[in-house]
Amino acid sequence: MMAAVHAVVGAAAGRRLRRPAAALAAGVGTHLVGDLIPHRDFPLALELPLMLAALALLARGRGVTSPTLWGALGGVLPDVENGLHLMGLVPERAKLFPTHNGVLPHGRPIRSIANQLLLVLAALVVLRQGR
């Protein structure tokens, strides 16, 4: 799952929560669900700027203390270990997140990004409610 998708879905989960800590935890939960879905992953060189752009837009639009942003941060937090692994800083055996270390199955790779686009659209609908 693209990190930017994890961010937007995590933001949607955190949107209605009052506390940033609860939103962060909800975002981590959405990451787990997103990883279980069959999806296409992309190289870090594409993933990182898209994720940073998504987080920057959410911070600018909702504020750095908003549960929406903290949900987004929770949504991408588990992938920090994947990024560190890709950079050679974390060995495969040291990964902690259940879909990254094999405790739970990571979604099978597929070529299409249609399911990721649908998730983003659904999350954007949630984010736009009540504005």
pLDDT digits (tens, 9 = 90+) for 22-81: 999 999 999 999 999 999 999 989 999 999 999 999 999 999 999 999 999 999 999 999
Encoding tokens for residue 116? 């990721």
The three-class DSSP label of residue 86 is helix
Q: Give pTM, 2 decimals.
A: 0.94
For residue 77, how far is the Cα from the chain centroid?
7
The one-letter amino acid code at 116 reads Q
Q: Where are the domains of the chain?
A: 3-128
